[in-house]
């Protein structure tokens, strides 16, 4: 089977507590699976795309848990590299509201994915995909992951796949300038570059209006297709000279983690249809829906997204 979208990156077990509880004192941690690229694959699969997720996992109960949870959303997990070395990456999350930020405590060093190298990848899976998607987290994991990431975008592009990159800066993993430099290299092969306004400013030093930022990003990428997310203010896109935006939604937030990945998935699904504008619009609705759902994954149906876009009105559907 050829895939519409293949993503590559690390999955972690997310051990978390809801708003009001603390990691230091909670009697139990809820368990989920997370990872930017896996999230994108799952959300895109739920929109109807044929997706695969490529990664390296330890061959133990935690690694199996990750693979099975991703598979559950319809993603092909048959191309994972199972490793006897390395551990399952973990991260601990306390959901919260202002004035306390949502705090992530990463424990992902020495993970199987951090030591994955190009020789562990089933390249035909990526090379036959319509879109290959990767985030800026993967090159930040380790030196070998950085080489792997560059290989991924280079070989995928060479094989004819469209390449999508989401900057997704993580300051607990690397410095802004390291990120900027690496993304610059990878963006040479990109057909689509997505970033948040925050990252555009903190990593690349861009500022000004969204339009200005988009033009700056266009200068960076090997493509003229760039997308800028602005949280509750929606998203903005530039495709060559064409541009547009999608308005944000009023949304009740229980868990903001994963909203960016939901957005990326929607955008990619639009890209598959040759409709970046529609993709950005869909992504914006998906990000808004994600805020109301616990966990990194956007567990919704395509119909639910459509209804949000169309703006149905009753507060209770019965």
Q: Please pick, from the candidates 8, 194, 289, 296, the single residue that binds its own copies as defined by CB under 8 A.
A: 289
Give the whole-angstrom CA distance, residue 188 versus residue 160: 14
Distance CA 180, CA 265 (A): 23
Beta carbon of residue 263, minimum distance to its own copies (angstroms, whole number): 14
Q: Which helix (H) or strand (E) holds 182?
A: helix 176-187
Q: How many CB atoms lie within 10 A of CB 288?
A: 22
Q: How far apart are CA 40 and CA 13, in angstroms?
A: 16
172 binds its own copies (CB under 8 A): yes
Q: Please state the closest distance from residue 140 (CB atom) to its own copies, in A.
A: 12
Active site residue 261: yes
**Residues in contact with its own copies, shown as a per-residue x/- string from 97 to 136 under the rule CB under 8 A:** xxxxxxxxxxx-xx--------------------------
Q: Of 26 and 159, which CB lies nearer to its own copies in the complex structure? A: 26
Q: Which is nearer to its own copies, 42 or 238 (CB)?
A: 42
Catalytically annotated residue among 191, 239, 261, 296: 261
Which of residues 93 and 193 has its CB atom nearest to its own copies in the complex?
93
**Residues between 253 and 272 that touch its own copies (CB under 8 A):** 254-257
Residue 242 token pair: 């064409």
Q: Kindly report each contact of residues 303-310 with a partner whose C-beta sits within 8 Å and lies 24 or more positions away, as own/partner.
A: 305/47, 305/266, 308/249, 309/281, 309/282, 309/285
176 touches its own copies (CB under 8 A): no
Determine the Cα–Cα distance for residues 20 and 33; give it in Å rounded to an integer.
21
Applying the rule CB under 8 A, the residues between 193 and 212 that interact with its own copies are 198
Please give the size of the binding site for its own copies, defined by CB under 8 A: 76
User: Any contact of residue 82 with its own copies (CB under 8 A)?
Assistant: no
> What residues numbered 136-155 form the site for its own copies, per CB under 8 A?
none
Q: Does 159 bind its own copies (CB under 8 A)?
A: no
CB of 295 to its own copies, least distance (A): 8
- Residue ranges in 225-254 that form contacts with its own copies under rule CB under 8 A: 249-252, 254
Whichever of 61 and 241 has its CB closer to its own copies, that residue is 61
CB of 175 to its own copies, least distance (A): 15
Instruction: Select from 28-36, 144-152, 177-185, 206-214 the region that touches its own copies (CB under 8 A).
Output: 28-36
* Separation between Cα atoms, residue 173 and residue 183, nearest integer Å: 14
**Closest distance to its own copies from the beta carbon of 242 (Å):** 27
C-alpha distances (whole Å) from 197 to each of 58, 75, 172, 231 are 35, 30, 19, 8
Report d(CA 129, CA 161) in Å as an integer: 6
Q: Which of 57, 95, 96, 55 is nearest to 79 (CA)?
A: 55
Are 135 and 165 in contact by the 8 Å Cβ rule? The answer is yes
Q: Which is nearer to its own copies, 134 or 285 (CB)?
A: 285
309: phi then psi, degrees, rounded to nearest 5: -60, -40
Cβ proximity of 245 and 235 under 8 Å: yes
Q: Pick out residues in 298-317 that bind its own copies (CB under 8 A).
A: 299-301, 304, 307-308, 312, 314-317
Q: How far is the CB of 107 from its own copies (least distance, A)?
A: 6
Confirm or reject binding of residue 222 to its own copies (CB under 8 A).
no
Q: How is residue 4 written in tokens?
A: 């519409």
The reply on whether position 3 binds its own copies by CB under 8 A is no
Query: Which positions are annotated as active-site residues?
Result: 261
């Amino acid at each position: 089977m050829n895939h519409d979208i293949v993503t590559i990156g690390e999955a972690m077990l997310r051990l978390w507590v809801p708003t009001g509880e603390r990691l230091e004192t909670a009697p139990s941690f809820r368990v989920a699976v997370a990872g930017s690229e896996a999230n994108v694959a799952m959300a895109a699969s739920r929109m109807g795309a044929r997706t695969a997720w490529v990664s390296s996992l330890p061959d133990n109960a935690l690694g199996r848990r990750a693979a099975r949870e991703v598979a559950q959303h319809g993603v092909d997990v048959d191309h994972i590299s199972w490793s006897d070395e390395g551990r399952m990456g973990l991260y601990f999350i306390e959901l919260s509201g202002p004035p306390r930020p949502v705090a992530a405590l990463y424990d992902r060093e020495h993970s199987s994915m951090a030591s994955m190298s190009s020789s562990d990848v089933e390249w035909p899976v990526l090379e036959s995909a319509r879109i290959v998607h990767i985030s800026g987290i993967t090159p930040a994991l380790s030196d070998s992951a950085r080489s792997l990431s560059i290989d991924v975008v280079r070989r995928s592009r060479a094989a004819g796949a469209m390449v999508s990159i989401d900057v997704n800066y993580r300051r607990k993993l690397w410095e802004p300038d390291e990120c900027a430099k690496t993304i610059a290299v990878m963006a040479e092969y990109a057909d689509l570059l997505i970033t948040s306004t925050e990252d555009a400013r903190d990593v690349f030093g861009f500022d000004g209006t969204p339009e200005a930022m988009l033009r700056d990003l266009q200068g960076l990428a090997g493509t003229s297709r760039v997308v800028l997310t602005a949280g509750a203010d929606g998203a903005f896109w530039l495709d060559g000279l064409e541009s547009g935006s999608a308005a944000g939604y009023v949304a009740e937030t229980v868990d903001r983690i994963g909203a960016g990945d939901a957005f990326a998935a929607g955008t990619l699904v639009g890209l598959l249809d040759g409709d970046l504008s529609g993709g950005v619009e869909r992504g914006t609705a998906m990000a808004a829906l994600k805020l109301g759902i616990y966990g990194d994954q956007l567990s919704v149906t395509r119909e639910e997204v459509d209804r949000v876009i169309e703006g149905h009105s009753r507060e209770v559907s019965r």
